[in-house]
Structure 1
Amino acid sequence: MQTMNESAFKKPKASAGNPGMGVSIDAAFVRGEEQWTEQVDLPSILHEVLQVADIRAVRQGNWLALDDGWMLLPQLVTYTIDDGGALRTTTTIEVVHGSHLPAGSFEYQHSHGPSLNASLRNGFDQWRQMDLAVWRDVVREAPANSAIMLMEWPVCEGRPAGKKRILLGPFQHAALQEPVAADEEHPFCPCCLLTNSLNAFQSLIESDGIQGVRLYAARDAEGVAQADCRVNGEDFEQGRQALLAYVAQWPQRGFELRKQFVVFQAALPPSGDVSPTHAEGTSPVGQRWWERLLGLLRR
């Protein structure tokens, strides 16, 4: 792994709310008659995950620096062996960008595997696919991995004019039963988690800066709704409640989950395009969302 001299590296600061407890661990485990120890270094594991995906990174202290200016800090939060014998880990990854996100943002990774190393690797790889893909699009005029919503609105009833770009990352959608075409008026697409909970995010639409938003909605086999929503790693109860209300609208398919990471940006790309659009290879977000947004802003 390439590294930089510590004395030449100005270390970013992790978010105050980031509960990460460190980047390395030496642990001993007992599983039935099996006993073993593991020594893991989280930045090294994350670096290997990035290498497999052809993402170049240079280690600077405990941080990994990417070519496009992003700095990444993985940290361990908790680990345990569950009743089935799997190692379960919770980690965080902090992202910082000197010009786009100097204050940083973090998100959790919950994972499992046959070993501590495997669980960490699984969690980091899922984060790479769903979260890092979106963060890297923040610095691109034309996103490579995300569907996009571009908007601009004039002064309206005391509200100042504003501009916003929302990056809709890759999503996970799993259901026990196959959907029936007539089950939903609008089949699930990249914009659905956000647009169906949009009212809860009015403060983000109108705010400055950049916010990374985790959207998670699920219903178990007994029909009990679950939801999780975080903004820059911090719980966002308004969003969680809106997602629970969205789950209540789903047709019954047994267990089902929908998960996505999105980023709100205050600035538009230089093109200034303000119509609903999408990145190549993704589904368009459609006029339905645009009309809903305008209705929200006119309130």
Structure 2
Amino acid sequence: MVKVLITGGTGLVGKYLQKKLKDKNYEVAILTRTPTLKNEFGWNITEEYIDDNAFKNITHIIHLAGAGIADKRWTNKRKKELINSRVLSTDLLLKKVKELNIDLKGFISASGIGYYGAVTSPQIFTETDAPENDFISKVCVEWEKSALNFNQLNVPVTILRTGVVLAKSGGALSKMNTPLFLAALGNGKQYMPWIHIDDLCNLYIKAIKDTNFTGIYNAIAPEHHTNETFTKTIAEVINKPMFPFKAPSFILKVILGEMSSILIKGSRVSSKKVNELYSFNFPNLKTSLKNIYNNE
């Protein structure tokens, strides 16, 4: 029997993934700071606490927890929180799996295409490319390093470097469907690797079912879009006018500080490796948006 423990299970991806797992008759347990339901269990990273009952009969861990990258300005305090919420939580999970001698069949962790840095270049990044030397890259590098420590226990590890997740409720689309973001940001030529939430959840499920689906994968759709073409496609699908002027980079820098780099910079990321093992239900942006907004 498969039983999956999810961290970050109450977030955008976690909620959708819970439903898909339950539809497939997988048992699901959730780690949360404020447990209220029968299948929810408490944890506190700063106190290095996890309810031992959360690990009862689990076969897989899906680790989604982490402070929101774009939720607040990147002060020094916030930067520390962004890294610690990912790394210390992973380290705590590893410690408990060792302590309780859990026979884990797989550890599946989120990561981000931020691994390649907030850069705009002609390069199409693959999983074997080196990380960039900026903050967003450092977050992902440290995150992945902590996840790969599960290999020390001979636990198979799968890491999904995720782009912009497209979903109807919450996430990037709810922020982009506003007057400011229905305009190209900066010069609009930065790329925006993306994935439909249905495909992303299917990849997490594949990592449970397919013992060969281990290692690091770019979890992004195969169709490349710049910020400008992405925004034009949203405007077309939801039948709203796109703002005729671009949002200047300097204004975004004033409003958002260093965090603006993840909006005004971006390169293409290759989906070739994952595409050889998985067929996307939504490889096309327009089809994805129609499905989300119009249920087509």
Q: TM-score, normalised by structure 2?
A: 0.22
User: What TM-score do the two structures reach when normalised by structure 1?
Assistant: 0.22
Q: Decide which structure has greater strand share.
A: 1
Q: By percentage of residues, which structure has more helix?
A: 2
Larger Rg: 1
